[in-house]
Amino acid sequence: MALNIKVGPIGALDMLKFKNQVKKRNQIIDSTTPAPLPEEYGTNARARALHPKAQTLLVKEVRQHQPDVKSYLLGREDGEPTAYFRAGQYLSVRLSIGGSEITRPYSISSAPQLALQGNYWITVKRTSPGFASDYILENWQEGTAVNVSGPEGEFYYEPLRDAKTVIGLAGGSGITPFLSMAYAIRDAAEDFNLTVLYGSRTKEDILFADEFAAIEKECPKVHLVNVLSDEEKEGMEHGFLTASLIQKYAGEEPFSVFACGPSAMYHFLDTELPKLNLEQKYIRRELLGAEKQPWTLPGYPTDKKDQIFQLTVKYVGNEKVIEASANEPVLVAIERAGIAAPSHCRSGECGYCHSRLVSGEVYIPEVSDGRRAADKEYGYIHPCASYPISDLVIELPGVY
Amino acid sequence: MLTYDVVVVGAGNAGMSAACKLAMSGQKTLLIEQHNLPGGCATSFRRGRFEFETSLHELCDYGPASDPGDVRLLLKDYGINVKFLEVPDTFRVISTARSGREIDAAMPVGQKAFIDKMEEYVPGSRASMEDFFTLGDECNAATIYINQSNGSPDSEYMKKHFPNFLRTAAHTTNKVLDALKMPRDAQDILNTYWSYLGVDTERLTFMHYAAMVHKYVTRSAYIPELTSHGLSLAFIDRFQQLGGEVWFNTKVEKVLFENGAVSGVSTTQGDVAAKHVILNCNPHTAYATMLPKEVIPEREIRLANARTHSARAFVLYLGLNKTAEQLGLTDYSIFMPPTMDTAKAYQALSSLETNDYIISLCYNIVNPKASPEGTCMLSFTTFYSDEVWKDISPENYVNTKNQIASRMIDKFERKTGVKLRDYIEEAEVATPWTFARYINTPQGTMYGYETNEWDSMMARLMSLNTDYPIPGLKFAGAHGPRGDGYSSTYICGELIARLTLKDMAEEAK
């Protein structure tokens, strides 16, 4: 080899330096303190506080809005802060009901600042059928211990991405994330202009009217417009959340649309929003939830409707064989069997239930297929948004 | 109690690689991961219609089929078949050289093209660049030899076959480049990749840096078509085919001992028995929280205390509603350090205010299908050399993230002339908190310990038989002998599994 490198004054010493690497390293190690290593680091403690795997809270107060709607103040017993959040995020509530182990996502309606005092408000409205909402409305009272996740979800204002003005489209209890956003703007925790178009049937159905009125008085960046479908009232819009109504309140500046409400509202918006010619980046939708009538969706093999299949569930060294209906997401069958499968969004998006489909076939609606490209390649599914259409073997990513 | 031959704790790159090797060798192996996904940093996430690569910039040791790198060979050996795409160039660097000269250099792949281009930017650099690659050849061959020797290389063999390697390996990068009489501006361009190893070239040993640059230039960089999440799923898929078992969402809380030897692990899903445990977690974490104090030799604590945690990453991910072509993006990776004086640039990484480093990546340049038609994706990465994120309060967290993200976008727009602001459809930020959340390393670090002069890759490899002496317990990961990086951690996992198999064979005698 022609190359003959010399580093340092005397080339011969270099070989020695190579040999001495270990000796030098050992000298440094031997001269270092054997003091105990830290058990905790600031960064890790911050991360855990912001993203706890679970939070055990108590119901501290119950507020009845309407016969079928209550709000619950959930807080830490010791008054320490609960996990901070971005207005619009939700908590996944874990429930054990008659042998079923289930979760439900509920938007936080309170100010992010309230978490610093260890509290969140959530609102529960009876749905039909309402397995979880029935249970909560009937059983939760002051002092009930409640197990929730950390704050989850991406339905929040993001200044890098969204227009400075947000038109919120709310239906029913879908008003709750917007109330949190309104508080965040009032408290200067977040900075944008928020106009909420809030659709209700009648004036009686409106939630949080006083809260919004108080915020609007204090904070000119927040506006609430009630839109009633079934009656006409002074000072309120009549009709539905149409494109022209949005345009009327949006003004001339660029705006983002944030929508949160029942599936009927989303279906309506599917035909209205395109009329606004907005770029996709200006439209955000909160979780859709699992489709209750999958057979109405494109691609569903309708001959499978009402069929019951055998579902083998594997998890951390266990195996259980249960039944699963083609009409329900795989996750529901697993929960009903009392297996505490992990889940958060229940809409196919967040991937927390990411599981391996060992064998069998499922139907996955395109609209709620939040899988990564490689998941499809290697046979992974999100059981919360997958419907069994044959016998299945599935491997869960552990249990709670 | 469930009993296994080996339990691997952590399904990061090194953990998955070790698990595959053990299962291939017929060991009953359990792989336990605290998160619900495999890969650790090697994963991806969805936002809207985009799927973002979390951490992989480019694999340096894959190589073309005609000249395979160690990772290509390792995957082949494991029976893992994943589609990779070649990165067309090495890097573009925009910054100020130590000489004060403003540099904007786009460097190609291939030794000859790279040397020619360097001569164009820095006339008079040719001879020293040619020497650099000749030396790089030798460094690579020597590294492979040392890796295969399980930490006990034969010194006579080394002297005979790798004399230049022995002369230069223990010196710092800059010292050797000076000895090669490489013009400073050429050194500065060549040193662009230093941040991938987390240590400036005043302290990083030459052989470590040269081996990496040599591979990137000679064999090209590669990325998996389906992101590193695809690569991680491929590892898990193969491991399961080989009879391995994986538990996700399960945290190993303690390593169990009986009579001073490993007897299993205690997990959030119950205890598991095994005489061998490989920890794909940081030794600091293990020694402080997972092992009984009495089994840890004092030297191990001294070693841990002597080391410096390396590289806390901050990444901004952007999904843009225009194509790379429409926006005028032409480069896969652009390095924009505040200065090409690597020691000064490293210094600047120590605070939120002075950190002005960016590596930008546009995945669509390599993989046109990386995002939906009409869109593209960009990421911006920087690192912190100190635990500065611990002082931020939860209320100020989002604003802090967004200020830094905004500064990155401004700098990128200024330096490249490409406008991004109006086209951002999705934006997400990962900070050291995010990495702490998902991989739970001390301070959210990604690179293990700094591979500085005294704790270099070579010094670690030669200390394989003295570091981590607890019977039945081994460590694999970025903190390990090969240092950080995807290639290094896959290879490290294989090496540690091999050493475990060797121990098992000796016990069986």
Q: Is B294 within 8 Å of chain A by CB?
A: no
| pLDDT band, residue A15 (cuts 50/70/90) | low
Residue B444 in any domain: the answer is: no
pLDDT over threshold 90, residue A400 = no
Interface contact B160, partner A, CB < 8 A = no
Q: Report the run of H or E that residue B126 belongs to, with start and end.
A: helix B126-148
Contacts of B236 in chain A (CB under 8 A): 378
Q: Tell me whether residue B96 is in a domain.
A: no
Longest Cα separation, chain A = 96
Reported confidence tier of residue A14, pLDDT bands at 50, 70, 90: low
A11 lies in a domain? Answer: no
pLDDT given for residue A9 in this prediction:
46
Domain presence at residue B447: no
> Do A259 and A281 fall within a single domain?
yes
Q: What is the pLDDT of residues B357-391, one digit of tens each?
A: 999 999 999 999 999 999 999 999 999 999 999 99
> Do B73 and B122 fall into the same domain?
no
- Give the per-residue pLDDT at B146: 83
Residue A153 domain-assigned (yes or no): no
CA B240, B245, B251, B253 torsion-angle sign: negative
Q: How many helices and strands in chain A, by DSSP H and E?
A: 10, 19
Determine the 3-state secondary structure of A370 from DSSP: coil
Chain B residues closer than 8 Å to A83 by CB: 394
* B328, B291: one domain: no
Whether A382 and A370 have beta carbons less than 8 Å apart is answered as yes
Q: CA nearest A397: which of B14, B250, B281, B4?
A: B250
Q: How much is the average pLDDT of A284-298?
A: 92
Largest CA distance in chain B: 69
**Domain holding B263: CATH number?**
3.50.50.60
Contacts of A15 (CB under 8 A, 6+ apart): B159, B166, B167
Q: Distance, in angstroms, between B44 CA and closest chain A CA?
A: 8
- The burial class, CB within 10 Å (0-12 / 13-18 / 19+), for A99 is exposed
The residue of chain A nearest to residue B52, with distances taken between CA atoms, is A372
User: CA dist B59 to A239, B71, B267, B306, Å?
Assistant: 57, 9, 33, 30
Could you report the per-residue pLDDT of B491-507, keeping only the tens digit for each?
999 999 999 999 999 99
Q: The CATH number of the domain where A179 resides is what?
A: 3.40.50.80
Number of domains present in the structure of chain B: 3
B73 and B22 housed in the same domain: yes
Same domain, residue pair A269 and A174: yes
Same-domain check for residues A269 and A310: no
* A10 domain residue, yes or no: no
Residues whose CB falls within 8 Å of the CB of residue A180, separated by 6 or more in sequence, listed in order = A87, A88, A107, A108, A109, A110, A111, A112
Q: Which of A5, A43, A371 sits opposite B443 (nearest CB)?
A: A43
Q: What is the pLDDT of residue B467?
A: 93
Asked whether residue A6 carries a pLDDT value surpassing 70, the answer given is no
What pLDDT does A11 receive? 52
Cross-chain Cβ contact A158/B427 below 8 Å: yes
B327 and B389 assigned to the same domain: yes
How large is the ipTM? 0.96
For residue B2, which residues of chain A lie inside 8 Å, CB to CB? Answer: 317
- How far is A260 from A96, CA to CA, in rounded Å? 27
| Mean per-residue pLDDT, B73-102 | 98
Give yes or no: residues A272 and A302 share one domain. Answer: no
Q: Give residue-wise pLDDT tens across range A161-196.
A: 999 999 999 999 999 999 999 999 999 999 999 999
Domain contains B7: yes
Residues A201 and A249 occupy one common structural domain: yes
Task: Give the range among A76-85, A125-134, A181-190, A373-382 with minimum mean pLDDT.
Answer: A125-134
**Cβ atoms of residues A265 and A289 within 8 Å:** no
Do A281 and A170 sit in the same domain of this protein?
yes
pLDDT greater than 90 at residue B392: yes
Residue at B99 is within a domain: no
State whether residue A10 sits within 8 Å of chain B by CB: no
User: How confident is the model over A197-231, as pLDDT tens digits?
Assistant: 999 999 999 999 999 999 999 999 999 999 999 99
A276 and A169, same structural domain?
Answer: yes
Nearest to B19 by CA among B247, B219, B314, B256: B247
In a domain, A160, yes or no: no
The reply to whether B94 falls in a domain is no
**Contact partners, residue B417, CB within 8 Å, separation at least 6:** B328
Q: Which domain holds residue B8?
A: 2-82+225-308+452-508
A349 and A316, same domain (yes or no): yes
Boundary-marking domain end, from B409, B439, B469: B439
Residues B145 and B181 in one domain: yes
Distance CA B339, CA B209 (A): 19
B430 - beta bridge partners? B315
For chain A positions 97-156, those within 8 Å of chain B (CB to CB) are 112-113, 116, 154
Residue B98 lies in a domain: no
Q: What is the CA radius of gyration of chain B?
A: 22
Residue B370 sits in the same domain as residue B399: yes
- Please name which of B80, B73, B69, B74 lies closest in space to residue B38, comparing C-alpha atoms: B80
Amino acid present at B384: Y
Distance in angstroms between the alpha carbons of the first and the last residue of chain B: 26
Inter-residue contact A254 to A310 (CB < 8 Å): no
CA distance A276 to chain B (A): 17
What pLDDT digit, counting tens, does each position of B441-488 carry?
999 999 999 999 899 998 998 898 899 999 999 999 999 999 999 999
Are B181 and B112 members of one domain? Answer: yes
Average confidence score pLDDT of chain A: 95
A276: containing domain: 165-285
Residues A263 and A219 in one domain: yes
Mean pLDDT within B69-86: 97
Query: Is pLDDT of B151 > 80?
Result: no
In a domain, B382, yes or no: yes
Identify the pLDDT of residue A10.
43
The rounded distance, in Å, linking the Cα atoms of B441 and B432 is: 10
Same domain, B406 and B462: no
From first CA to last CA, the distance across chain A in angstroms is: 62
| CA A390 from centre of chain | 29
**Mean pLDDT (whole number) for B192-208:** 95
Determine whether the interchain pair B306/A28 forms a contact, defined as Cβ–Cβ distance below 8 Å: yes
Instruction: State pLDDT tens for residues B256-312.
Output: 999 989 999 999 999 999 999 999 999 999 999 999 999 999 999 999 999 999 999
Count the domains in chain A. Answer: 3
- Whether residue A9 lies within 8 A of chain B, CB to CB, comes out as no
Whether B433 and B456 share a structural domain: no
CA pair distance B501, B506, nearest whole angstrom: 9
B299 and B376 in a single domain? The answer is no
Q: Do A254 and A173 fall into the same domain?
A: yes
| Chain B interface mutation, best of A21, A356, A375, highest count of B Cβ atoms under 10 Å | A21
Q: What pLDDT does residue A1 have?
A: 46
Rounded average pLDDT over A129-140: 94
